[in-house]
Amino acid sequence: MELVSVIIPVFNSEKFVELAISSALILPQVGEVVVVDDGSTDRSLEICLNLQKKDRRINVLVHPKNSNRGAAESRNLGIKNVNFPLVAFLDSDDKYFENRFDESVQILSTNPSIMGCFGQVLVNYLDANYQKLMGVPVGMDSKKLFSHILNGGYFHTNSLTIRKSYLERIGGFDQSCWPHEDVELWTRLAYHGKLVSISSEMPIAEYTIHGKNLSQLGNWKSKWALWSTVFWNFFFNSISLTDRYFILKQLIKAHFGRFKGKKISVKFSN
C-alpha cells in the first residue's frame, strides 16, 4: 500500500489544529503530516511543536523569519518536503473522517494512469448550526471534469489525493489567485491528467465555515485574478468552444461583480 503525506497549512488555528492533525494521524494510510505554520500570532505553532515531540510522523515547518506567506506558498513548501508518493491536503480548522483514504489509495495504488482522486466533503457552517455536502457528482466522467470546473463545479481540496510526481510536474498553487488558488490548480490538474471521483457518496472530510474564515471567500478582484489566469492558461489551447464560453462567462461575472450592491447611474448629454 502506498502511503500518503498530508500537508496542513496553519495560521492562527489554535482552537482547531490539534484535532486536524489527530484526524490525519489516526488513519493507517498516512505516513506523515507536514505542518507549515504561516506566521501564526497565537499558540498554533507552539501546539504543533509539542505534538511533533510526541509523534515522529509530524514535521513542522516555518517560513523564513516566521513570515506570513499565505496558504498557497505554505502548501508549496509542504510539497517540497514530503517523503511519500501520494499527497493530500487538510486545512487546519477542518478534519478528515475515518474513510478518508479507503478508496482513494486503493485506486491510485492499482491504476497508474490515474493521477488523482477526490470525493465528497461535509460543509459545516459552525455559527449557523447547518451542514451540507459539497463535491462533484459521483461517477462523473473524468473527461468532463475540466469543463465542469470551468462552469463553476467544485470539489474541496480536503478531498483531493494526488500523486506527488504529477503535482511536481504540473506545478503547485499559484499565490496570485488567492483565495481561489485551489480552483486554478484543479483546472491544470484536470486538463493535463486523469482525475477521478471515488464511488462513495459518503463525505470523507469536513470543511468548517466560521467567522474567521468567512473573509477568505473572495471578492470580484480575486475572482477576476483567478479567471484571468485560467484564460491565459487555456483559452488559446486545444479546448472546446464550450470551454471557451465557460471561461468568458466567468470573466464577465467577475467583471460585473464589482457593481454588486451599487447603484449605476447613466448621464446623457445633448
DSSP string, 12-46: S-TTTHHHHHHHHHTSTTEEEEEEEE---SSSHHH
pLDDT of 218 reads 67
pLDDT for 211: 65
pLDDT at 38 over 80: yes
Can you tell me the mean pLDDT for 8-18? 97
Q: What tens digit of pLDDT does each residue of 225-256 get? A: 999 999 999 999 999 999 999 999 999 999 98
Would you place residue 266 in the very low, low, confident or very high pLDDT band (cuts 50, 70, 90)?
A: very low
How far apart (Å, rounded) are the C-alpha atoms in residues 182 and 75? 10
Average pLDDT over residues 162-186: 95
Instruction: Name residue 30's beta-bridge partners.
Output: 4
Helix (H, G, I), strand (E, B) or coil at 241: helix
Asked if the model's pLDDT at residue 268 lies above 50, the reply is no
- Which letter, b or e, does each residue of 32-65 get, where b requires 16 or more Cβ atoms within 10 Å of its Cβ? bbbbbbbbbeeebbebbeebbeeeebbbbbbbee
pLDDT level of residue 262 (50, 70, 90 thresholds): low
- Phi/psi for 254 (5° steps) reads -65, -40
Q: Which amino acid is at 211?
A: G
Beta bridge partner(s), residue 89: 7
Q: Flag whether pLDDT at 261 surpasses 70.
A: no
Helix (H, G, I), strand (E, B) or coil at 75: helix
For residue 259, give every residue at least 6 positions away whose Cβ sits within 8 Å of its Cβ, in sequence order, or none: none
Assess contact for 179 and 217: CB atoms under 8 A: yes
pLDDT at position 270 is 47
User: pLDDT band at 167, cuts 50/70/90?
Assistant: very high
The yes-or-no verdict on residue 15 having pLDDT over 90 is: yes
Asked if 242 and 205 touch (Cβ cutoff 8 Å), the reply is no
Q: Which amino acid is residue 39, in one-letter code? A: G
pLDDT of res. 265: 45
Nearest to 23 by CA among 217, 162, 207: 207
Average pLDDT in the 125-130 region? Answer: 78
